[in-house]
Amino acid sequence: MVSFLGATGRFALEQIAAMGRLFSFLMSAIFLAFRRPAKFYLIIHHIKTIGVDSLSVVALSGFFTGMVMGFQGYYSLRKFNAESWLGSATALGLLRELGPVLSAFMVTGRTGSAMAAELGTMRATEQIDALDSMAINPIKYLVSPRIIASLLAMPLLTAIFDVIGIFGSYIVGVNLLGVSSGSFFAGMENSIVFHDVYSGFVKSISFGLIITWICCYKGFYAPPMASGVSQATTESVVLSFVLILVWDYFLTSIML
Amino acid sequence: MIQVTNLRKGFRGQQVLKGVNLEFASGKITTIVGTSGCGKTVLLRHLNALLRPDDGAVLIDGVDIAKLAQKELYEMRSKFGVLFQGAALLDSMTVYDNVAFPLREKTQSTESEIKKKVEDRLDQVGLGAMGGKFPAELSGGMKKRAGLARALIMDPEIMLFDEPTTGLDPILATSIHQLIARTHATFGFTGVLVSHTIPQVFDISDYVAMLANGVIEEVSAPKSFCASQNPVVQQFIQGKTEGPIHVL
């Protein structure tokens, strides 16, 4: 009984310590992002890896998501003789919810996992220790630029996802299912307000932060061995997905 | 002067260093020898505070390095150059950029000044023509040379070498030892070298320290070290499995 309590207490303490380390890692990265000298060339490099390199997968998934929404929306709205609201329903769903969440999932899979694997490998091959021993703060050099880059790239990727998704829905709704083009856009124009765009924008920024934070943390503190790197990569993707969905719930309830 | 006093360090209940006391003479090369897994690298990583002691202290010119705040610690680390076991070159950069990296990050030098210094260092380690290669394109020995060039680029007062010849053939190992001796003669740094390449490493060492069972068993000049009657030293030198050093 005593040993069970001891093990439980030890486990609880370890979890609390891990959470403390996770938050202090984020605070350090944000604090160091504002310390001079600024690493503009690294920020631009990571905007390319997070943003430009994820563009094709985000565009493709946005297009097919929009087309599926076109079919499903048409099927549901037809029951109420409200097919003309297809554009409005699709745009609201994409702008407020699916755009930020799905593009965040795509970036997690495409770039977040790569971040965790890269930093994990750098840990295993002593490159992070080498930076530290050269008196170069590894968090400032490796993590802060990635965080800034993700804050800039994620809203843009989400916006592209939204636009291409609406285009996909338009093709299915108007060209395949016969919804009028005028009513598709008129419904959208009447029902979309700035708050819908704004809430999607806030979500995409916060998801960008979550992805970079979790994936960099997992890679940075990966056990220095091959299995440690693979474990860190898996954990970073799974934890990012879960946190994105949990945070999405809270943001949605606040910003509804 | 580096002084290690009563240094203790354990990991997950296993005590690796059990009270290490050792002084490293300025301007000399001290080699720490010992069996694999005895804690040589752990001791080395305490010298520039990559690891923090559970107890005891590492004093650099009288300053306890583990107690320094981040800014002061980084100033102190600027005195060090480190050659890691696997060279730890940044694999996204060419050899040239790796060697230039500390200069670009830590100094206000112009690119032409950086170019001159980097080319000098690469020539000194025999990699003058390899600046454009990536670490993945280099052999083990070349990586160590590139790592040494990077470690020397800031003209460090103290150089730490973590098993610089591990994984190299005897000829290459000798060439790395000669390179260390040559650069030591040129730059005059205080060298701390972790190795179990004996007796070859004795040729470049001013002092040899034997770490065994978590403590320093012997410190002396190479000749005296070899002649030591300490059974731990004799077991290690002769490579015997029977003796005071516990072998699995």
pLDDT digits (tens, 9 = 90+) for A57-82: 999 999 999 999 999 999 999 999 88
Instruction: Tell me: pLDDT of B172 over 90.
Output: no
pLDDT digits (tens, 9 = 90+) for A182-214: 989 998 888 889 999 999 999 999 999 999 999
* Bond from prior residue into B199 cis (ω within 30 degrees of 0): yes
The ipTM assigned to this model is 0.89
The number of distinct structural domains making up chain A is 1
Nearest to B88 among A130, A136, A137 (CB): A130
- Is B242 touching A (CB cutoff 8 A)? no
Q: Do B120 and B150 meet the contact criterion of CB atoms below 8 Å apart?
A: no
- Binary contact (A134, B105; C-beta < 8 A): yes
List beta partners, residue B161.
B83, B193
Q: How far is B150 from chain A (nearest CA, A)?
A: 10
- Is A132 touching B (CB cutoff 8 A)? yes
Task: List phi, psi (to 5°) of B135.
Answer: -55, -35
CA distance to A25, B64, B119, B150, B205, per residue, from B82 (Å): 26, 19, 19, 9, 17
- Is A12 touching B (CB cutoff 8 A)? no
Q: Do B148 and B183 meet the contact criterion of CB atoms below 8 Å apart?
A: yes
Q: How far is B185 from chain A (nearest CA, A)?
A: 23
CATH number, domain B1-79+158-248? 3.40.50.300
- Binary contact (B50, A136; C-beta < 8 A): no
The percent of residues above 90 in pLDDT, for chain B, comes to 61
Q: How far is A87 from chain B (nearest CA, A)?
A: 46
Q: Do A199 and A94 meet the contact criterion of CB atoms below 8 Å apart?
A: no
pLDDT, mean of residues A116-142: 95
pLDDT at position A218 is 96
Where residue B247 falls among pLDDT bands split at 50, 70, 90?
A: low
Burial A84-94, CB ≥16 within 10 A → b, else e: bbbbbbbbbbb
- Is A135 touching B (CB cutoff 8 A)? yes
Q: A127 to chain B: which residues are within 8 Å by CB?
A: 88-91
pLDDT digits (tens, 9 = 90+) for B79-132: 999 999 889 999 999 999 999 999 999 999 999 999 999 998 998 888 888 899
Tokens of A112: 């977040």
Q: How far is B96 from chain A (nearest CA, A)?
A: 16
Count of pairs with CB atoms under 8 A, one residue in A, one in B: 47
- CB burial of residue A35 (10 Å; 0-12, 13-18, 19+): exposed
Domain, as residue range, for A32: 2-255
- Binary contact (A135, B89; C-beta < 8 A): no
- Binary contact (B50, A129; C-beta < 8 A): yes
Domain range annotation of chain B: 1-79+158-248, 88-155
Closest CA to B219 of B31, B18, B90: B31
- Binary contact (A134, B75; C-beta < 8 A): no
pTM, two decimals, is 0.88
- Binary contact (A136, B88; C-beta < 8 A): no
Instruction: Tell me: pLDDT of A253 over 80.
Output: yes
Closest CA to A161 of A200, A195, A206: A200
pLDDT digits (tens, 9 = 90+) for A73-108: 999 999 998 888 999 999 999 999 999 999 999 999
Residue of A nearest to B158 (CA): A133
Residue of A nearest to B49 (CA): A133
pLDDT at position A242 is 97
pLDDT at position A188 is 87
Helix axes A194-220, A2-33, angle to 10 degrees: 120
